[in-house]
Amino acid sequence: MIKRTVLIIGIVLAVCACIGIFFALHLHGARDAGQSKNDEGAPGVYTDQEIEEAKQIVRDEFAEVFTGCTLTDLWYDEEASQKHANEWAEQYEAKEALVLLSNFDVDASGGDGSLNPNSTYTDWNWILVRNSNNEAWTLKTWGY
């Protein structure tokens, strides 16, 4: 009986340690919602300023539309953005498309009622388009 109890306690402790490590790594890797980040690290398609301008448009829209929600992370991943950029640009009859990713928390109200209350949404997409480098980004859609 004692061996069985010790074994169960050992398993529970090992599971707790694994969960703790997972959350520590996840929180350590979280991206600041206020900073521009090109995950590729090398010069990319867009400048930091262009990405930051797109991010500010998303932040403004989020603050206006996503009541009861807190934007926790907002970032640009060049590989993810370029994967479907041509399709998005074509759909919105634009020359360029940029995809930003975000994570956000929803409070007990469920935002506008369409989101799950007391939840976290991850890798939420924001699609922005434009027709030239001199043109401002236009936010067209968002979601999964």
CA-to-CA dists, residue 51 to 16, 36, 62, 90, 100, angstroms: 39, 7, 16, 20, 9
Dmax (CA) of the chain: 74
Reported as a single tens digit per residue, the pLDDT across 53-68 is 999 999 999 999 999 9
pTM of the model: 0.70
- % of residues, the chain, pLDDT over 70: 70
